[in-house]
Structure 1
Amino acid sequence: MILRYNISNFLSFNDTTEFNLFIGDYRRFDNHVYKFKDLDILKLTSIYGANATGKSNLVKAFDYLRDAVLEDDLTKLKVPSFKGNEDKPTELEIEFITKNTAYIYGFELLRDNIIKEYLYYSGISKKDTLIFDREVDKNGVSKIEVNKKLLKTKKFQILKDHYEERVNSNQLFLNLIGDIDLGDLSNEIEAVIKWMIKMQVIFPTSKPQYLVSNLLNEPSFMDFTRDMLCSFDTGIKNLHIKEFNISEYFGEDDKDLVNDLIEDLEKNDGEDIPLSVDMIVTLKEGEPVVKRLYVEHIGFGTNNLFSFNEESDGTKRLIEFMSMLYNLIVKEGDFSVYIIDEIGRSIHPSLLKEFLSKLSREDQIKGQLIFTTHESNLLDLNMLRPDEIWFAEKNRERGNTEFKTLAEFKKIRPDLNIRKGYLNGRFGGIPILANFDDLNWTEYASN
């Protein structure tokens, strides 16, 4: 669960900008609140803003953090600093909870080289406790302090000193020792990396890779997806997964592709290979087969199934979101975090609102959903709390992104028409339009 994220000198974020999921002074929708010790954390958050205000840059900042932890060469990522600030360091710091422990992880980098990196147990409102703290000098040499309680033997201390010398300035220490046994230090780092990997950052063009595998391997997920799609009145009656011989499916012209896929299956011990959202190659009783998702519509029967690609963009997007909804509503285990840019892409506003309303009404939301949107139809205090509604605006003089929440405005009553106020510009987050009556359209006409 994310507590807060501090961003500095990254894309449209100039000075340190905080995005957090702490509750405001509201008592509605207790099911939207996760309680951790004495802290209350929100499970749902929406971010509104006109084009080019920077709301998508927040999603990119989460994505960069995740990629940096997994990448062994930061120069491949090319940190995008605030325009004109290329000679200043970029700082990213996230505070989060996993396995019932709160952590703070962050780093500073300049031109893709680390200056500082640190990991602490978060004390929330009290003093934080060191796990490790890394400083990098001008020559790229790291000095790393580690909590002595986490390095209980001389062997682990020697190994730590060894990797302290090996870590490059264009690499995170977290990345380097992710697979190294350093005792209790490794246990903490493993927990952090696993949480980072599990954090799902979804852009408008993102596609789920393991939808078909999950439908096959989890019967409860198949039942859930089928029931949800029917309840959304999409015209879908059922989902089917058909099986094909791999050679017959691809034919002689794709013989080389078939051989490559069979070779990849052998290398990966038969692990499923996603070919598209609706199709995988897998092993059945030791033989490679293609499995593909098909959709049955009301009135057409099982002899007239539709391929995934024949569905509307909105229906396809809804099916792609089923794994997320299942994890947030049904699946047990460590909570999932989903961060979605432009959640309403291709989905009809009424369908999107019904989708989010179902989640909002759940007694036990098992994770967090953070999303950006333009869709004013979602501005409904019967679905979201005021502290779950954020607005992104661009400072017109300095060009940087600034955030504020609806909870910061006075007199926010439960019966207030938030949508109307938003469209009238009361809360910001909408385009500042020119006076169209003053535009001389005819001068652009061709003669």
Structure 2
Amino acid sequence: MLIRFEVANFRSLLDPVELSMVAVDRDRAEARPVPNLGESLLPVAAVFGPNASGKSNVIAALTWLRTAIRDSLRFWDDEIPVEPFAFAGGEARPSEFTIESVVSGVRFEYIVELDRRAVRYEGLFHYPEKKRRRIFEREGGEFKLQRGLGNLSGTRELLTPRALALSIARRFDEPLVSGFARDLLAAQTLGLKSRGRRPVNSAPARSTLRWFEELSDRDQFALPGFEELDRPSPADRTQALALLRLADMGIDDVVIDEPEVSYPEGSPESARMRTQRTVRLVHRAAHERVPLDFAQESEGTRTWFQLIGPVLAALRSGSLLLFDELDASLHPTLSMQLIRLFHDPATNPKGAQLIFTSHDTSLLNHLNRDEVWLTEKAEDGATRLGALAEFAGERVRKSQNLEKAYLHGRFGALPDVDRAEILRALGLIG
């Protein structure tokens, strides 16, 4: 589980900001005790704030780090694609990322500082018996390893100024490193828009269709990316259908057709037949069951259908799900149901975590004070991120109506609308 994430000099996040999943109110069923940490961790965190205040950049920074660990060895030959703050000398400063998480009961800490030219510092640490120990550390061209981890020595041979040591070390058979990296790489990102470089949205490890498929053993192994443990089961289908019915109680089943389609290649004789997968949702009305093409479904139903795979994958593996602009994709009722899935230990026994951004203040009624984070833009354009639970150095009361207080400006983080300026620009006042 994620403990905390800190970032500096990335997009609008100039000075260090921290998102912590450590529970303030530990006496709630939603807070998950971590014995070796001595704290409880939260399964949900929400970031609220005005448009252009930098909410999405918190999600983007976490996603960027995950993608960097996956791709740096393969794609960072010429330049590190980091995005420093555009003002206040940000281009001349390194970007910094720190992430702490608990994997298999052990606390890990990963730190990296870099600019477009090179990785300046990188370190991976763990806390066996609560004492910090180095796994590896690199500064400039110097690379140090913990004693007894000689099987990672090949990392030194492959290291370049722009490749992350973690990208290299995770490929060696060392459980300490590969376990931490695997946990971070399992994170999924939804809703985040690309800025023109490599896409930042992560494709889910298992698509939603995988949860509805009924395959023979032979067909199962013909599909790339599936292993024996990933075989669809009746229980998978039951879970997926139960989630789908939350969006539309009239849905009775899902039908996946695989008709053969002819693709011309020069002449009719050379046309090739290919299988094209199509989805239809079966609706129940009175005594009828009618399958409708997926394109005929409402946008909300289609969006929810596409979420089922990532959500079930996160809940099954206990991984992290990042969702930018949750309210732009889902009806408030479905957003609330999604939060409830991660809150409830019965549906989330492995401690999966959901971090999302939103404008929908009604969701504050379903969140605890320590699950809410607020963004504001400073005069220099930099984003400030703060915990609502400790707003302005004053602890927010546990019983406070968060939505009402937020809308009344109690916590800031609201759009500052100058109505007179708008009316003047429209020529309605002098």
> TM-score, normalising length from structure 1?
0.79
| C-alpha contact 1:122 1:129 (8 A) present in aligned 2 | yes
Residue in structure 1 matched with residue 360 of structure 2 by the alignment: 375
Following the alignment from structure 1 to structure 2, what is the Cα–Cα distance between the partners of residues 173 and 218? Answer: 39
| C-alpha contact 2:209 2:309 (8 A) present in aligned 1 | no
> TM-score, normalising length from structure 2?
0.81
Following the alignment from structure 1 to structure 2, what is the Cα–Cα distance between the partners of residues 343 and 173? Answer: 34
Following the alignment from structure 1 to structure 2, what is the Cα–Cα distance between the partners of residues 379 and 358? Answer: 16
Following the alignment from structure 1 to structure 2, what is the Cα–Cα distance between the partners of residues 255 and 418? Answer: 64
Residue in structure 1 matched with residue 367 of structure 2 by the alignment: 384
Tell me which moved more, 35-44 or 57-66: 35-44
How far the C-alpha of 1:399 sits from its partner, in A, is 2.3
Q: Are 2:363 and 1:352 equivalent residues in the alignment?
A: no
Report percent identity of matched pairs. 26
In structure 1, give the amino acid aligned to 2:243. Answer: M
| C-alpha contact 1:68 1:77 (8 A) present in aligned 2 | no
Q: Are 2:31 and 1:32 equivalent residues in the alignment?
A: yes
Q: Are 2:186 and 1:198 equivalent residues in the alignment?
A: yes
Relative to 1, partners in 2 of residues 1:148 and 1:302: Cα closer, same or farther, differing over 3 Å? farther
Question: Per-residue CA shift, 1:253-306, capped at 9, x if unaligned?
Answer: 3799xx9999xxxxxxxxxxxxxxxxxxxxxxxxx8444321011229887412
The partner residue of 2:81 within 71, 75, 78 is 78
Question: Per-residue CA shift, 1:30-54, capped at 9, x if unaligned?
Answer: 2332424222111111110111111
The partner residue of 1:214 within 203, 211, 214 is 211
Residue in structure 2 matched with residue 242 of structure 1 by the alignment: 257
| C-alpha contact 1:7 1:92 (8 A) present in aligned 2 | yes
In structure 2, give the amino acid aligned to 1:169. Answer: P
Residue in structure 1 matched with residue 263 of structure 2 by the alignment: 252
How far the C-alpha of 1:234 sits from its partner, in A, is 4.5
Residue in structure 1 matched with residue 413 of structure 2 by the alignment: 429
Residue in structure 2 matched with residue 283 of structure 1 by the alignment: none
How far the C-alpha of 1:99 sits from its partner, in A, is 2.2
- Kindly report the root-mean-square deviation, in angstroms, between the aligned alpha carbons of the 2 structures: 3.0
Following the alignment from structure 1 to structure 2, what is the Cα–Cα distance between the partners of residues 119 and 128? Answer: 10
How far the C-alpha of 1:113 sits from its partner, in A, is 1.1
How far the C-alpha of 1:353 sits from its partner, in A, is 2.2
Relative to 1, partners in 2 of residues 1:436 and 1:321: Cα closer, same or farther, differing over 3 Å? farther
| C-alpha contact 2:327 2:358 (8 A) present in aligned 1 | yes
| C-alpha contact 1:56 1:341 (8 A) present in aligned 2 | yes
Following the alignment from structure 1 to structure 2, what is the Cα–Cα distance between the partners of residues 299 and 406? Answer: 46
> Secondary structure of the equivalent of 1:171?
coil
Relative to 1, partners in 2 of residues 1:252 and 1:423: Cα closer, same or farther, differing over 3 Å? same
Residue in structure 2 matched with residue 43 of structure 1 by the alignment: 43
Q: Are 2:111 and 1:106 equivalent residues in the alignment?
A: yes
Residue in structure 1 matched with residue 285 of structure 2 by the alignment: 299
Runs of 4 or more, structure 1, over 6 Å off, are 259-262, 300-303
How many residue pairs end up in the alignment? 390
| C-alpha contact 1:5 1:18 (8 A) present in aligned 2 | yes
Residue in structure 2 matched with residue 318 of structure 1 by the alignment: 304
In structure 1, give the amino acid aligned to 2:242. Answer: D
Relative to 1, partners in 2 of residues 1:300 and 1:67: Cα closer, same or farther, differing over 3 Å? farther
Q: Are 2:57 and 1:65 equivalent residues in the alignment?
A: no
Relative to 1, partners in 2 of residues 1:127 and 1:260: Cα closer, same or farther, differing over 3 Å? farther
Following the alignment from structure 2 to structure 1, what is the Cα–Cα distance between the partners of residues 8 and 59? Answer: 14
How far the C-alpha of 1:177 sits from its partner, in A, is 3.5
Q: Are 2:427 and 1:443 equivalent residues in the alignment?
A: yes
How far the C-alpha of 1:322 sits from its partner, in A, is 1.6
Question: Per-residue CA shift, 1:113-168, capped at 9, x if unaligned?
Answer: 111111110369x54101011111xxxxx2111011222xxxx4xx72x6424311
In structure 1, give the amino acid aligned to 2:297. Answer: E
Following the alignment from structure 1 to structure 2, what is the Cα–Cα distance between the partners of residues 211 and 77? Answer: 33
| C-alpha contact 2:342 2:353 (8 A) present in aligned 1 | no
Following the alignment from structure 1 to structure 2, what is the Cα–Cα distance between the partners of residues 88 and 411? Answer: 34
Question: Per-residue CA shift, 1:88-111, capped at 9, x if unaligned?
Answer: 111111111112221111211122
Relative to 1, partners in 2 of residues 1:175 and 1:222: Cα closer, same or farther, differing over 3 Å? same
Following the alignment from structure 2 to structure 1, what is the Cα–Cα distance between the partners of residues 33 and 190? Answer: 23
Question: Per-residue CA shift, 1:176-233, capped at 9, x if unaligned?
Answer: 233235xxxx322211221122011222565656221232223222211212332444
Relative to 1, partners in 2 of residues 1:108 and 1:299: Cα closer, same or farther, differing over 3 Å? same
Q: Which runs of 5+ in 1 are unaligned?
A: 137-141, 263-287
